[in-house]
Amino acid sequence: MRLLVLSPECTLLDEEVSVVDLPGAMGRFTVLRGHDNLISTLVEGVVRYLPMTSAAEDEKEMLEIDGGFVEVRNDVITVCVD
C-alpha cells in the first residue's frame, strides 16, 4: 500500500507501507491493506507508519502534522496537510 503526504508546496513523503495510524477528528484510526474507501479530516498530531522494509511494530516512523485531510482509495493513502 502506498502512503503519500502532500503539502501545497511539495510531496513530503511517498513510501510503500504496511500500516498507517492517523489522528482523525473523531480519534485515532488505523489503515491496513484492503481498507474501505474513506475521506476524513485530520487534527494536529502524529501520523505513524510502518515502511514495507520494516518488520517490527516498534520500527514505526512518525510525521507530525498540524491537521488536514486524508483520502483512502485502492490501497493509496493520500494525506493533504497545510
Across residues 31-37, what is the average pLDDT? 95
Specify whether the CB–CB gap between 63 and 5 falls below 8 A.
yes
Helix (H, G, I), strand (E, B) or coil at 44: coil
Residue-range domain boundaries for the chain: 2-81
CATH architecture type of domain 2-81: Sandwich (2.60)
Mean pLDDT, range 58-63, rounded to an integer: 86
pLDDT tens readout for residues 73-82: 999 999 999 8
48 is written with which cell numbers?
505513524
Residues 64-74: pLDDT tens digits?
999 999 999 99
**What local confidence, expressed as pLDDT, does residue 57 receive?**
65
How many Å apart are CA 23 and CA 40, to the nearest integer?
Answer: 10
- The whole-angstrom separation of Cα 46 and Cα 37 is 21
